[in-house]
Amino acid sequence: MINKLVVKIQKTNAPIVVGLDPMLNYIPAHIQKKAFQEYGETLEGAAEAVWQFNKEIVDKTYDIIPAVKPQIAMYEQFGIPGMTAFKKTVDYCREKDLVVIGDIKRGDIGSTSAAYAVGHLGKVKVGDKTYAGFDEDFATLNPYMGADSIQPFIEVCREENKGIFVLVKTSNPSSGDFQDQLVSGRPLYELVGEKVAEWGETHMGDTYSYVGAVVGATYPEMGKILRKIMPKAYILVPGYGAQGGQGKDLVHFFNKDGLGAIVNSSRGIIASYKQEKYAKFGPENFGDSARQAALDMIEDISSALER
Amino acid sequence: MINKLVVKIQKTNAPIVVGLDPMLNYIPAHIQKKAFQEYGETLEGAAEAVWQFNKEIVDKTYDIIPAVKPQIAMYEQFGIPGMTAFKKTVDYCREKDLVVIGDIKRGDIGSTSAAYAVGHLGKVKVGDKTYAGFDEDFATLNPYMGADSIQPFIEVCREENKGIFVLVKTSNPSSGDFQDQLVSGRPLYELVGEKVAEWGETHMGDTYSYVGAVVGATYPEMGKILRKIMPKAYILVPGYGAQGGQGKDLVHFFNKDGLGAIVNSSRGIIASYKQEKYAKFGPENFGDSARQAALDMIEDISSALER
C-alpha cells in the first residue's frame, strides 16, 4: 500500500491528502435540510448529511488527489450511525481507488492493540470465516505506550500490505508539553522518530517503509531534523492551511527525490466555500470549491518544491 | 460521577472494576454456538455472542462491584455490529447502576478532541436536538498530544459531571520506551502525573478529582511515587492478576483513607472458568465463576489493605 501511495502521488503530482473531517457546521444548509427531512434531526440524520457531504467532496476531487484521511472522531461523535457513515465513506473512497488513511490515533497493548489492528486494517476471525470491520489502508497510531502498542499493527500490516503513521511531533500548540521534553539533551520526539525508523526497517516497501510518521507543518525546523532521522518513513503532515502551515514551510519534510511527505488539509479544502477566496462558488457548489482549493494547494506545494 | 464512584466503592467495600474485554476465545462454546445459529458466523453473530456473554457476567456480579470497564477495541474489531454491542453493554451496565469506564484511550486535539468528548461522555447537537452517542461515565485518555487533547474532555466533564483517567504509567513491558525516559533526571511519567494533578484541580469532586490517572499494577514502586504526586487523583490500576500484579503490590496505590485507587481485572474474572482454580464451575456456569473470582479479588485486596 505504501508503494501504491507513492505511485498515486507521482501520477497525480499531488503530495496531498484531503481530510474528511465533516463537522456539521461545515456542511451546507441544503445538505443538512435534505438529510433532516428524510431522517429527522437525529443521529441518523446527521450521519446522512455527513455521508452526502463526503460523497460530493470525493466525487469532485478523487481524480486529482492520491488519498483521503477521514478523522474518525467526527463520525464517532454521532454514535453508531456516525460510525456507519465512517465505514460508508471508507468503502466509497476505496471504490474510487483512493488510498484511505484512517485518522484513528489508536494506541493500546498486546491483544487489545491486535484487536484495533484487525478491526481497522486486517480481518477478524468469526468461527471459520473472516471479516474486515472498517478496512482502511493506513491508520494513525499513538506511541505513548511503546513498542507493545505498535508491533501488533506491524504484524497485521505485513499480512495485508497495509501501513501506519505514528505520531511523532504533532501540529498543536501544546504538543510540546511532553513531546519536546529533553531526554539526554534531545527532545522526546527525536527518540520517537528513531523508534519509527527502527520499526520501519522491519516492514519496507520498494523505497519507503510501511511505517510512517506524523509531523506537524507548524514545526518546520523540527520536520527538517526528523526527515533526516527517518529517511525512509513517509511523513504525514497535518497543520497546513487553517492551522497556519504554508507550502514554503514544507520543503524540508520532503526528500531529494521529491517524495517522502504527504500534506493534509481538511477544513481548508472541504469547507473552502466559506472562505472569501472561494465565496464565488457558493454553498451549493461546495464540491467545486473543494476541487479548486485542492488544486491551489497542489500548486502551492509544487511550486515551493520546485524552488 | 467521581463522588458516585467513591460512594459505590465504599458501599461494596470493593475497590475493583471488572474489565469487559470479551475476546471470542473467552466466550464459552455454548454461547457462541447459540449466537451463530441465530446470526451465522458473521460480525452480527460475534457481536451477539459478546453481548450475551457480557450480560451474564454483569447479572452475576453487579451487586458486589462498583464499576465495569469495557475495552472498546474488543468491540471495534467487529465493526459496526461490535460497536453496537459496546453501546448495548454500556447502556445495560448503567441500568444496573454500575459506573462505566469506557477504556477508549482516545487522544486528539481541539475540535477533534471535543468530538470524541461529546461522543463518549457528552451530547452532540443535531439541529435543535442533542444526543448521547455512547454515554460512558468515565473515559481513558492518552496524553501524548498535551493539554490540547485533555482540555476539551474536561470541559465536557464539567457539564456532565463525568470524569477521565489519563494514561500516566501503563502496565505493559515496553511502557518504559518513552514513559520512563529521564527529563531533567526524572522520568517522563512523573511530569505527566504532575500535569494530571494540575488539570485535576480545575474539576474537583468532594474529596477526589474528576481527573484520574492510569498507573499499572506491574510497577508498584512507581505507583508509590505517583500516589504522592497526584494525591487527589483516583488511580485506575490495570495489570492485576493475568498481567502479574497482586493485592500486596497495590497498597501504595491507595491513600491513607483507604480510597484513591480502583483495580481492574479483565481476563482474571471474565475468563476465570478457564483457570484450574475455578474449573469446578465449568463453561456453563462462567458467570458464577466470574462472581467467585471477583469475590476472591476483593478479599485479596481488602486483606492487603488491612495489613
Residues B124-152 pLDDT 10s: 999 999 999 999 999 999 999 999 999 99
What was the pLDDT predicted at A241? Answer: 80
Compare CB distances from A142 to B118, B132, B144 and report the shortest one's residue: B144
The C-alpha of B298 sits at a distance from chain A's nearest C-alpha, in angstroms, of: 25
What was the pLDDT predicted at A243? Answer: 66
CATH 3.20.20.70 fits A2-306, yes or no: yes
Count interface pairs A-B at CB distance under 8 A: 235
The cell for B149 is 487533547
What was the pLDDT predicted at B242? Answer: 67
Compare CB distances from B172 to A23, A78, A145 and report the shortest one's residue: A145
CB contact under 8 A, B32 and A127: yes
Give yes or no for a contact between B248 and B275, defined as CB atoms under 8 angstroms apart: no
CB contact under 8 A, A119 and B71: no
> What are the CA-CA distances from residue A200 to residues A108, A205, A210, A231, B139 (Å)?
19, 10, 7, 10, 31
CB contact under 8 A, B73 and A112: yes
CA atoms of A193 and A233, how far apart (whole Å) = 9
Provide the residue type at B146 as one letter.
G
> Is residue A11 among the annotated active site residues?
no
Q: What is the ipTM of this complex?
A: 0.97
* Region label for B210, one of left (φ > 0), alpha (ψ between -120 and 50) or beta (otherwise): alpha
CB contact under 8 A, A112 and B184: no
> Which of B75, B77, B124 would best serve as a mutation to test chain A binding (most A beta carbons within 10 A)?
B77
Identify the segments of chain B with pLDDT beneath 70: 242-245
- Catalytic residue (choose from A8, A34, A105, A274): A105
Burial of A221 (0-12, 13-18, 19+ CB in 10 A): exposed
Provide the residue type at B30 as one letter.
H
Give yes or no for a contact between A98 and A130, defined as CB atoms under 8 angstroms apart: no
> What are the CA-CA distances from residue A254 to residues A164, A178, A231, A232, B51 (Å)?
18, 25, 9, 11, 48
Give yes or no for a contact between B118 and B156, defined as CB atoms under 8 angstroms apart: yes
Compare CB distances from B133 to A77, A113, A125 and report the shortest one's residue: A77
The cell for A106 is 489508536
CA atoms of B98 and B198, how far apart (whole Å) = 28
Of the candidates A6, A19, A1, the one whose C-alpha atom is nearest the C-alpha of residue A267 is A19
Query: Running along chain A, 307 residues long, what does each successive block of 10 average in pLDDT?
Result: 96 97 97 98 98 98 98 98 98 98 97 98 97 98 97 98 98 95 96 98 97 95 97 96 77 95 97 97 98 97 89
* Region label for B299, one of left (φ > 0), alpha (ψ between -120 and 50) or beta (otherwise): alpha
Compare CB distances from B126 to A46, A113, A172 and report the shortest one's residue: A46
First to last CA, chain B: 30
CB contact under 8 A, B112 and A77: no
Tell me which residue has cell 433532516.
Answer: A36
CB contact under 8 A, A80 and B80: yes
> Which of B71, B86, B121, B142 would best serve as a mutation to test chain A binding (most A beta carbons within 10 A)?
B142
| Chain B residues inside the 8 Å CB shell of A146 | 172, 174-179
Q: What is the DSSP string of B193-261?
A: HHHHHHHHHTSB-SSSBSEEEEE-TT-HHHHHHHHHHSTTS-EEE--BGGGSB-GGGSGGGS-TTS-SE
Of the candidates A258, A255, A253, A257, the one whose C-alpha atom is nearest the C-alpha of residue A238 is A253
CB contact under 8 A, B188 and A178: yes
CA atoms of A107 and A89, how far apart (whole Å) = 23
As annotated, the active-site residues of B are: 105
User: Which backbone phi and psi does B169 adopt, to 5 degrees?
Assistant: -130, 110
The C-alpha of A149 sits at a distance from chain B's nearest C-alpha, in angstroms, of: 9
